[in-house]
């Protein structure tokens, strides 16, 4: 930890990013936007095109590996590489692992050896860290832990809209949820995934998304099915919630709950003419965040219906970006900086907006 200059000395957490891909480059910017943390380095595996962005942003560039030949390859391509992962680990307080998934165990061993706290992403299993994270579900449980995992984009989306409902009805009982996840086939930058002309059900039934929510909010009983469709821009969830009797909710009250929930956008599809994910992403581009990101979960208010004890709704998830502000909040939890999740969310989001000039 270091102290920044100024009359009120503030702790500035030194953050490293391991893996500067779709998620890593976005988390780096979100961290760079905050005044209580700074980027001390990001890693690339090799001198690919992403290094240009690293240079433009002025982030110190490190190699994902300690191998001298791999480190040397950066200079051969004209990039200044400051060293391998071990060098980066020696100067940071916390590392955000944004590797492609399933390499977490190997990376965690390196972080532990260096005595550095770490945050993983949803491509890793909950068992890697034995604790997972979303801002609204379990921020306080994550205070001062050594390592955590920000759940996937889909699970983050489920948490955003289901946690407030679960909290509202908890005196009356638990909610029971079934969600159908209509998943994008690939991110816009991916050329190796599909399908491109098919609808592909995930035959592992139920899918992992529902059970993943229970890692951050075990009180919610949930199952899910998933299907991949040929789009790159968003996921859509079709959600059915069975509420406990005497729940006290109406469709209007549910909308009011979400209206008061951070990082949820409610819009009327018929009135706004936002009738599909295409228009939702156009709205996101209008908002003006970098890469046209949408950190919020989008809910069509005219698609919300409550019949007796059953609530139905649709929501859309920008898979590349809803987890980005959650990573910033997770840093404040595991570094013991801010106990109040809403205070952290407010600080994170205001700083990102200012950074983007919006
Ligand atoms: P990506 O493939 O775009 O980026 C991964 C980066 O890590 C690449 O730059 C790659 O070169 C680098 N890398 C490769 N091996 C590495 C290693 N051993 N150690 C460190 N870095 C390594 O992947 P992504 O989409 O950014 O996904 C990163 C993580 O975030 C995954 O766990 C994924 O499941 C999760 N996630 C992805 C999305 C999404 O929509 N892309 C959404 C939420 C969560």
167: which 2 tokens? Answer: 């909290």
Are 59 and 39 in contact, with CB atoms under 8 Å apart? yes
pLDDT in tens, 315-353: 999 999 999 999 999 999 999 999 999 999 999 999 999
pLDDT in tens, 79-138: 999 999 999 999 999 999 999 988 999 999 999 999 999 999 999 999 999 999 999 999
How many CA atoms, within 13 angstroms, populate the side-chain half-sphere of residue 45?
6
Dihedral, CA of residue 225, residue 226, residue 227 and residue 229, to nearest 10: 140
What are the respective helix, strand and coil percentages of the chain, to the nearest 5?
Answer: 35, 25, 40
Instruction: Give mean pLDDT, residues 48-67.
Output: 98
Give pLDDT, residue 9.
Answer: 56
Q: How far apart are CA 167 and CA 36, in angstroms?
A: 30
Are 97 and 75 in contact, with CB atoms under 8 Å apart? no
pTM of whole model > 0.95?
yes
> Is the confidence at residue 200, as pLDDT, over 60?
yes
Enumerate residues 6+ apart whose C-beta is below 8 A from 129. 108, 120, 145, 147, 148, 149
Give pLDDT, residue 11.
Answer: 86
Is 58 strand, coil or helix?
coil
pLDDT in tens, 289-315: 999 999 999 999 999 999 999 999 999
Give pLDDT, residue 1.
Answer: 42
> Is the confidence at residue 8, as pLDDT, over 80?
no
pLDDT in tens, 253-268: 999 999 999 999 999 9
Regarding the beta carbon of 242 and ligand 1, being less than 6 Å apart is answered no
Pocket test for ligand 1, best of 17, 19, 293, 325 (most atoms within 8 A of CB): 19
Enumerate residues 6+ apart whose C-beta is below 8 A from 171. none
Helix (H) or strand (E) holding 200: strand 200-201
CA neighbor of 67 nearest in space, from 83, 91, 47 = 83
Across the chain, what does the average pLDDT equal?
96
Q: How far apart are CA 337 and CA 12, in angstroms?
A: 10
Regarding the beta carbon of 42 and ligand 1, being less than 6 Å apart is answered no
pLDDT in tens, 209-225: 999 999 999 999 999 99
Cα 9 to averaged position of ligand 1 atoms, centre (Å): 35
Are 120 and 147 in contact, with CB atoms under 8 Å apart? yes
Q: Is 153 one of the catalytic residues? A: yes
Looking at ligand 1, which atom is closest to the CA of residue 120?
32
């Amino acid at each position: 930890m270091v102290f920044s200059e100024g009359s009120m000395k503030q702790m500035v957490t030194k953050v490293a990013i391991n893996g500067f891909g779709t998620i890593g480059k976005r988390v780096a910017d979100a961290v760079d936007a905050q005044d209580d943390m700074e980027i001390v380095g990001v890693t690339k595996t090799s001198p690919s095109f992403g290094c240009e962005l690293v240079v433009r942003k002025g982030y110190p560039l490190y190699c994902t590996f300690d191998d001298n030949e791999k480190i040397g390859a950066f200079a051969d391509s004209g990039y200044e590489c400051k060293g391998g992962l071990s060098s980066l680990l020696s100067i940071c307080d916390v590392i955000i692992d944004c590797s492609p998934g399933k390499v977490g165990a190997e990376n965690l061993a390196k972080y532990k050896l260096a005595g550095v706290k770490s945050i993983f992403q949803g491509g890793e299993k909950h068992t890697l860290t034995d604790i997972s994270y979303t801002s609204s579900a379990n921020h306080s449980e994550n205070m001062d832990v050594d390592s955590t995992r920000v759940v996937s984009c889909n699970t983050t989306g489920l948490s955003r809209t289901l946690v407030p409902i679960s909290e509202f009805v908890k005196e009356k009982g638990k909610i029971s949820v079934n969600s159908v996840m209509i998943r994008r086939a690939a991110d816009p930058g991916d050329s190796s995934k599909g399908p491109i002309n098919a609808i592909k059900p995930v035959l592992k039934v139920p899918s992992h998304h529902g059970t993943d929510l229970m890692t951050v909010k075990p009180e919610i009983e949930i199952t899910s099915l998933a299907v991949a469709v040929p789009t790159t821009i968003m996921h859509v969830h079709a959600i059915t919630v069975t509420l406990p009797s005497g729940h006290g909710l109406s469709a209007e009250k549910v909308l009011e709950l979400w209206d008061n929930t951070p990082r949820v956008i409610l819009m009327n599809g018929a009135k706004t003419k936002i009738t599909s994910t295409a228009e939702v992403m156009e709205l996101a581009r209008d908002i003006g965040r970098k890469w046209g990101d949408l950190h919020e979960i989008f809910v069509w208010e005219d698609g919300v219906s409550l019949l007796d004890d059953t609530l139905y709704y649709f929501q859309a998830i920008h898979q590349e970006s809803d987890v980005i502000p959650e990573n910033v909040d997770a840093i404040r939890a595991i570094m013991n900086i801010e106990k109040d999740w809403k205070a952290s969310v407010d600080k994170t989001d205001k700083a990102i907006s200012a950074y983007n000039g919006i």
